[in-house]
Structures are given as C-alpha cells and as structure tokens.
Amino acid sequence: MRRIFVLNGPNLNLLGTREPGIYGTLSLADIEERLKARAGGRAEIVFRQSNHEGELVTWIQEAGSEDAGVILNAGAYTHTSVALRDAISGAKAETIEIHLSNTHAREPFRHKSFITAVCRGVIAGFGPLSYELALEAHLAPRD
C-alpha cells in the first residue's frame, strides 16, 4: 500500500486552541483522524508534527528513502527554510505543499514560499480540507 507522510511544522500542535478565525477549531489530532478515515484502505498515513526544522528534514529524507509521498505543511518554515527546500529536492520525495489558510491573502511575508518550486503542487486556503485534497492528488491516477 502507498505510504504518505503527512508532516507538520512549528506551532501546528497548537491548532484548535488559539486563532480559530484563521486556522479553524479542529486540532491536529482531529485532522489526522479525518485524513486516515478518508484514506481508508487506499494509503497508509504516517502523520507527524515537529517544532524543529532538522527533524522535518530527517523525515523528508526518510520518506524519500522509501519512495513515499509527502504532504507538507511546513508552517512558518515555508517562508524561511532553504534546508527544507534542499531536503525535498535532494530526497526526491514527491511532495505537495499545503496550508490551512490562504497565505496569499495574508501578510506579504507569507506570499513567498521557499519550497513551492520543488513541490509537485500547492493547496492553500481550504482549512483541514487542504490535507484531504492533497491526499486525493497523491492517489489520483496520472493522465
């Protein structure tokens, strides 16, 4: 069965506790549960969160080494991290960048992503559904 790593960056462990107007009311555990239910028997979901850039790098490398797909919400590292960009391009793990919020409708510093250019695509602005849309994109047949 296809393995999909769902990797979450800094502060996403706080989801559901603060800023519901931007990030919604679901916790990260709720999102994980929904995603696993949606995957059903179609994919094995490996769901992780870290506040540490290097740990995210290690997990991207792990996904690449086993030819797994990646759904990456890099949080604020999206806008700063050359290390994550290099990990994605080096590991050759097919990665879909996602965001809960529409980063392009927010502050200008969120408009720049260091990782988009090395990702297969980007999904932003759909709340928890962003995770599910990325899963469907990973599992869809390529035309």
Is 111 an interacting residue with respect to ligand CA2 (CB under 6 A)? no
- Our CA angle for 47, 121, 66, nearest 5°, is 45
In the complex, minimum distance from the CB of residue 32 to ligand CA2, in angstroms, rounded to a whole number: 15
CB 66 within 8 A of CB 93: no
Contact window for ligand CA2 (CB under 6 A) among 49-57, 69-77, 114-122, 133-141 = 69-77
Binding-site member from 4, 45, 103, 132 for ligand CA2 (CB under 6 A):
103
What is the size of the binding site for ligand CA2 (CB under 6 A)?
16
Binding-site member from 23, 47, 59, 131 for ligand CA2 (CB under 6 A):
23
Contact window for ligand CA2 (CB under 6 A) among 9-17, 38-46, 61-69, 88-96 = 9-17
Binding-site member from 4, 7, 12, 39 for ligand CA2 (CB under 6 A):
12
Is 44 an interacting residue with respect to ligand CA2 (CB under 6 A)? no
**Catalytic pick from 52, 79, 99, 111?**
99
Is 47 an interacting residue with respect to ligand CA2 (CB under 6 A)? no
Is 43 an interacting residue with respect to ligand CA2 (CB under 6 A)? no
3-state secondary structure the chain: CEEEEEEECCCHHHCCCCCHHHHCCCCHHHHHHHHHHHHCCCEEEEEEECCCHHHHHHHHHHHHHCCCEEEEECHHHHHCCHHHHHHHHHHCCCEEEEECCCHHHCCHHHCCCCCHHHCCEEEECCCCHHHHHHHHHHHCCCC
Could you list the active site residues?
23, 99
